[in-house]
Amino acid sequence: MDLKDLRYAVAIADEGSFTRAAARLNLAQQALSKQIRDLERELTVRLFVRLPRGARLTTAGARFVADARRTLAESQRAVARARSVARDEAQHLRVGLGSCAVLAARTASTLTALRRRHTLAAIEVLDLAPAALIPALRDGTVDVAVGTALPESEADVTGERVWARPYCAVLPANHPLAAREVVGWRDLGDLPLITFVRHSDPGAYDALVRALSRRGVDPRVADMQVGGPPSLVGAFIAEGAGWALATAEGAWPLYRSQRGLVLRAFADTPILAEGWLLWSREHCSPFAREFVATWKGLEQLGAPAVTVADAAAPGSADPDEVISPVRRAGTVGPPARPPAFPPG
């Protein structure tokens, strides 16, 4: 018996099916069934009751799987600690970065500052899908991750919010709402929302829909969901196909190359785009902590605030140079801890 057998048993318990577990593990179902039969023979214990449509743990199997989860978690922590210590001794930092231009720019600035202080340090940046950041932290693949939210259900991962900006609406210039200086969330109820595809970040997508619902908007999601640069999405918006969310100093400067678009702030409670630095509670290396401190130091240096009008004007500030939250007459800073979504 080895860790692979434990992973197989846990996967079947999670999925309630040999077929689904095999798909999750990228194995043939027959191979998985044989592995579990061999394990049961070695243990002289029946772990699963095979059903016509699935599998159910026996009492002994439930106890085995509970212990297997703890063993796998502890082995993962041991690997992560060893990797962290080795990289720290070698002044080696690995940063996991979710796909986001705004956060990537600040990551680059932070790493540049670190390199000035540690000229011999080895620094790697791994471009990861949002869903892969937490597993990469847990198994020590990365020392620190740059993401869009602090996971609520992951007790072994912690972090700090280091970036927050209110979303605005990107609208067709010929839409009646474009004539207003600010818009309300409910004003947009009849216009389709063009947003990122759910499978790219299910948690953020579902949280966005919930946040819109709390503001009285039953979001009418556009039939098309466009994955790609704002210049591509903007072409559909300009044609009247819908609207999109963007921050004034984040995605909006990338939309401006497309004619026929305007950016409008919201008059009521904003939804925030957020950036978080995440790390393991158990094995955050001194080098990773220095990365966090350096990022926060650069953020505190600040830059002139950008208004919606400024961001819409030619030659406005580069997104990497804008640190302060968007301001406009009559609004205050963002409220504490609204829902977090991929920075736009």
Structure-block tokens of residue 32: 């998985």
pLDDT band at 73 (very low <50, low <70, confident <90, very high): confident
Give Cα separations from 319 to 98, 103, 252, 344 (angstroms): 17, 10, 9, 11
| Domain 165-270+305-331, CATH among 3.30.1360.30, 3.40.190.10, 3.10.20.30, 3.30.1370.60 | 3.40.190.10
Q: What is the pTM of this model?
A: 0.59
Report the sign of the C-alpha dihedral through residues 23, 26, 28, 31, in that order: negative
Helix axis angle, 59-89 relative to 286-301, nearest 10°? 70
Query: What CATH number does the domain located at 82-164+275-301 have?
Result: 3.40.190.10
Residues 171-214: tens digit of each pLDDT = 999 999 999 999 999 998 888 998 887 777 777 788 888 888 89
CATH 3.40.190.10 placement within the chain: 82-164+275-301, 165-270+305-331
Q: Strand (E) positions, the chain?
A: 48-51, 54-57, 92-98, 122-128, 144-147, 157-166, 168-172, 182-183, 244-246, 261-266, 272-280, 340-341
d(CA 153, CA 272): 21
| Amino acid 304: pLDDT | 30
Residues 289-327: tens digit of each pLDDT = 899 999 988 877 653 323 333 333 333 333 322 222 222
H-type alpha helices, 90-228? 101-117, 133-138, 202-214
| Amino acid 314: pLDDT | 34
Q: Taking a C-beta distance cutoff of 8 angstroms, is the pair 20, 13 a contact?
A: no
| Amino acid 317: pLDDT | 32
Q: Taking a C-beta distance cutoff of 8 angstroms, is the pair 170, 234 a contact?
A: yes
Percentage with pLDDT > 90 across the chain: 33
Largest CA distance in the chain: 75
Contacts with 130 (C-beta within 8 Å, 6 or more apart), sequence order: 98, 99, 147, 148, 200, 201, 203, 204, 342
Nearest 5°: the CA angle 210, 216, 219 is 60
| Amino acid 302: pLDDT | 58
228-236: average pLDDT: 80
Pairing of strands 261-266, 168-172: antiparallel
CA–centroid distance for 93 within its chain: 20
Query: What CATH number does the domain located at 3-79 have?
Result: 1.10.10.10
Helix axis angle, 101-117 relative to 286-301, nearest 10°? 110
Summary mean pLDDT of the chain: 79
52-67: average pLDDT: 91
Structure-block tokens of residue 321: 């140079």
208-221: average pLDDT: 85
Report the sign of the C-alpha dihedral through residues 128, 130, 93, 250, in that order: positive
Report the sign of the C-alpha dihedral through residues 324, 327, 333, 339, in that order: negative
CATH 1.10.10.10 placement within the chain: 3-79
